[in-house]
Amino acid sequence: MNEEPSPGRPVELRHLRAFLAVADELNITRAAARLRLTQPAVSRTLAALERHLGVRLVDRSTHHLALTADGVAFRDKAATAVAAFDEALDSGRLRTWPLRLGHAWSAFGPYTTPLLRTWQERFPGTPLELLRIDDRTAGLTRGEVDAALLRGPVDAPGLVAEVLFTEVRVAAVTADGPLAARPSLELADLADGPVVLNTVSGTTTVDLWPPGARPAATLTVGNTDDWLTAIAAGRGSGVSTASTAELHPHAGVAYVPLDDAPGVPVLLARRDAPGHPKLPQLVSLAREIIARDPARRPPERAPGEPPR
């Protein structure tokens, strides 16, 4: 089989699928087994793609494969292209085009249920699929979703985002530990023991603490479930947002107000490119639902009182 891209059709879908398999497995043999191809065929396909792009996507200089900087940047583009192709050929979605909304944790906070219910009432022909994906952009850069609810700053290229509201932070501590009985806590109260950090989807890093008062030790996990389990087991404390306390109750975890931590912006992000036609309606509805919340409305002014 000739793996070289032809002049009329320089890159085919199989080249992208082969690269993505290698990027996921970081092993040619496992990638070949996943694609049901031979190892030489995958190697030739990958080499042909690299020749066409004029860059190295995979570093083969070590015993273990690794993506180059160009490979990391290309992976999201390739994943988006493959996802769009598969979506277009999904016969079950020819008549309905679901709007996929990703989140890494806590979704839209207290507004999650109102958003889903109101959307169903107003747009019954366009299902709104809420997908939890343990990834900093909740699958948005990989093309797995059309939009994403994210927390904290997002630096991924090719995305645009707007702040919908700001959440206060809370401390998450072991339910039967001494900190759970306190009416409120400060960051310094958590720094004496280990702090559990969700490095994949969370927003808390050691930079939340002043340089001279950072936690004595940290424990890193990859998702919200492991974060809760570690705290419940007494392996450390954590910092999250108020919506985590509402949407992720846990018998072994107590959430306590945190007095001196800055709030976390909740963003609605999308790719900076043409996308799902119902994205403008999603943005408008999200704003509308937040505006319904009396706690977020500006206080009413008495007659003659100047604006606050």
Q: What is the pLDDT of residue 250?
A: 96
pTM flag (> 0.85): no
- 91-166+264-293 sits in which CATH class? alpha beta
Radius of gyration of the chain from its Cα atoms, rounded to whole angstroms? 23
Each domain of the chain, given as residue ranges in start order, spans 13-88, 91-166+264-293, 169-257
The yes-or-no answer to whether 91-166+264-293 and 169-257 have a common fold is yes
**Strands (E) located in the chain:** 58-59, 66-67, 99-103, 128-132, 147-151, 159-167, 169-174, 194-198, 217-221, 238-241, 253-257, 264-271
pLDDT in tens, 8-65: 457 888 998 899 889 888 889 888 988 889 999 999 999 999 999 999 999 987 667 8
Q: What is the pLDDT of residue 62?
A: 64
Q: What is the pLDDT of residue 7?
A: 47
Query: Closest Cα to residue 192, out of 157, 154, 237?
Result: 237
Could you name the CATH architecture of 169-257?
A: 3-Layer(aba) Sandwich (3.40)
Q: What is the pLDDT of residue 308?
A: 42
Q: What is the pLDDT of residue 85?
A: 76
Q: What is the pLDDT of residue 90?
A: 62
Lookup: tokens for 79: 């994943």
Q: What is the pLDDT of residue 298?
A: 43
CB 28 within 8 A of CB 19: no
| DSSP states of 159-194 | EEEEEEEEEPEEEEEETTSGGGGSS-B-HHHHHTSE
Q: What is the pLDDT along the chain (308 residues), one digit of tens a residue?
A: 445 554 445 788 899 889 988 988 888 988 898 888 999 999 999 999 999 999 999 998 766 788 898 988 888 788 877 777 776 666 555 456 799 999 988 899 999 999 999 999 999 989 999 999 988 889 888 888 999 999 988 877 788 999 999 999 999 999 999 999 999 999 999 999 999 998 776 789 999 999 989 998 999 998 889 999 999 999 999 999 999 998 899 999 999 999 999 999 999 999 887 788 899 999 999 999 999 987 764 444 444 544 44
Residue 106: left (phi > 0), alpha (psi -120 to 50), or beta?
left
**Paired strand residues for 223:** none
Query: What number of CA atoms fall less than 13 Å from residue 12's CA on the CB side?
Result: 11
Could you name the CATH architecture of 13-88?
A: Orthogonal Bundle (1.10)
